[in-house]
Amino acid sequence: MSEDIITYLEKLVLVKFNEDEKERVRVEINRIVDLFNLLKNMKELDIYEPLFHVHEISSPLRDDEVLDKLDEEYKMLKENAVLVQGYVKAPKTMVE
């Protein structure tokens, strides 16, 4: 795996590796991908459908009702976010 792919992944998940980490992560990711590639060679897997959920249950469905009618600004946001006139402050999004 090349440095280009690491850079691509950094952009995909919005994290950056610093200079010290970059080489280390490249080596480690390559080794881990070698481990992942063990599955590539298992021909017997082709006949199996992917198992997304371990149990055969259907998602429960909820009644359409309102619980906890809220009347004031959600307190948690006051304590954990930066609010401006009740709105959560966030960075600019690009001009469209």
Footprint (CB under 8 A) of another protein, residues 22-81: 24-25, 28-29, 31-33, 35-40, 42, 44-46, 48-55, 57-77, 79-81
Closest CA to 19 of 3, 33, 1: 3
Dihedral angle of Cα 13, 19, 23, 24, to the nearest 10 degrees: -80
Indicate whether 13 belongs to the interface with another protein (CB under 8 A). Answer: yes
* Least separation in angstroms between CB 18 and another protein: 8
* Least separation in angstroms between CB 39 and another protein: 5
Report the SS3 class of residue 52.
coil
Indicate whether 4 belongs to the interface with another protein (CB under 8 A). Answer: no
| Distance (Å, whole) CA 28 – CA 30 | 5
- Per CB under 8 A, the list member of 6, 19, 23, 43 interacting with another protein is 6
